[in-house]
Amino acid sequence: MSKAVVAIVAATLLVACSGPSAIHAARSTTPTAWPSSQTPAAQESAPPLEASYERVIKQALPSIVQITTDEVLGSGIVYDSAGHILTNAHVVGGAKQMTVTLATGSKSHSARLVKSFGGGDLAVIKVDDPKGLTPARFGDSSKLRVGQVVLAMGNPLGLSGSVTQGIVSALGRTVTEPQDPDSPGATITGAIQTSAAINPGNSGGGLIDLSGQVIGIPTLAATDPDLGGGAAPGIGFAIPSNTAKDIATQIIRNGKVTNSHRAALGIRGTTAIEDGQAAGVAVVKVDKGSAAAKAGIKPGDVIISLNGRETLSMATLAEALSTLQPGKQAKVGVVRLNGSTTTITVTLGVLPGD
């Protein structure tokens, strides 16, 4: 995760924009190799659950890599034998070149960015020489169950090859990162909430089930302002593997995301402030040919609702849009420059793949 601290909004948690926030990645430190496996005798005598952990770690950890740019350190997952690696867009940031090191400890590989999809906080990079890389096995995240045991694998605080254990705490969360230089401002739909510890540097790694399959991409860890911004124990969020696979496949095949499956208005905006409070989304720019342009939304308008749901900030507007489908109609509440209020029917477009 990037070094910045960014706010998240979990719709089903009913928290405000000033509520819990997410920790992104720490700066690069010297990677530490994963220790050697236990002896066969120790494995044979281990309890069944412990033996399952050992087996899964042995299978999955070779597919987890450390990604280091000039700015930050994060994690990634080997996607295929061609050397493509899946990670978070905020791990890559603006870097075009980076260094990849296996979590199990080996020589470093130089890599380049293939494409980032900031809207979904995903990116694909490719190593120059894929020799020695082990592709991960990806599972079907639609089959996840609350209570299922999972392991988070990555490089928290630069400690290469770290593993934490937890459960799937909830499914279908919506979390939103505010946009800043270190975060693409993504809204993640259908996020997996997990109690497995996710710390700075874990972003882009793997959330692994006990069959050894990747079922999520750890992306955000919650913090509690009431604790002085400290970590809120046992609350982390991962992008579902089905979403990650879809985006990665599009990038590898087409060099970009051709269908994000996400609704969009096609505006650039900022949160409007009135009397010190968020009062809506001030439209700064309307993209040519976009859904908003076709419906008559203009720069200077302030969007205050979507289908009757208040959208008093960019985060809440993005969250509301994430629940809708491209091609569907939506009612957008707008305050015009002259102070009049109107409702505009918009046929939603598709969030572009950057």
Four-residue CA torsion sign, 53, 56, 58, 62:
negative
Same domain, 249 and 269: no
Same domain, 210 and 278: no
Same domain, 109 and 193: yes
Number of structural domains (the chain) is: 2
Answer with the one of 234, 256, 278 that is the final residue of a domain.
256
- Cα distances from 171 to residues 20, 165, 198, in angstroms, run 18, 17, 17
Q: How far apart are CA 139 and CA 128, in angstroms?
A: 27
* 8 Å CB contact between 235 and 325: no
Provide the phi-psi class of 15: left if phi over 0, else alpha when psi is between -120 and 50, else beta. beta
Q: How far apart are CA 117 and CA 74, in angstroms?
A: 17
Stretch (H or E) spanning 59? helix 48-60
Same domain, 271 and 252: no
Same domain, 20 and 163: yes
Same domain, 285 and 144: no
Answer with the one of 256, 271, 288 that is the final residue of a domain.
256
Q: How far apart are CA 250 and CA 115, in angstroms?
A: 10
Same domain, 98 and 30: yes
CA quadruple 92, 143, 133, 254: dihedral, nearest 10: -60
Same domain, 164 and 300: no
Residue with tokens 């593993």: 163
Q: Residue 315 has what pLDDT?
A: 85
Write the CATH number for 15: 2.40.10.120
Same domain, 212 and 193: yes
Range of the domain at 289: 263-350
List pLDDT tens digits, range 264-315.
Answer: 999 999 999 998 899 999 999 999 999 999 999 999 999 999 999 999 988 8
List pLDDT tens digits, range 200-247.
Answer: 888 999 999 999 999 999 998 887 777 666 667 889 999 999 999 999
What is the set of active-site residues?
Answer: 90, 121, 203
- Residue type for 260, please? S
**Over pLDDT 70: what percentage of the chain?**
82
pTM (predicted TM-score): 0.81
* 8 Å CB contact between 220 and 228: no
165: which strand partners? 151
Write the CATH number for 338: 2.30.42.10
- Residue type for 150, please? V
List pLDDT tens digits, range 1-37.
Answer: 443 333 333 333 322 222 233 433 322 333 334 344 4
Q: How far apart are CA 243 and CA 246, in angstroms?
A: 5
Same domain, 248 and 269: no
Give the residue from 20, 38, 23 showing the smallest Cα distance to 197.
Answer: 23
Same domain, 33 and 162: yes
Answer with the one of 231, 256, 281 that is the final residue of a domain.
256
Same domain, 233 and 117: yes
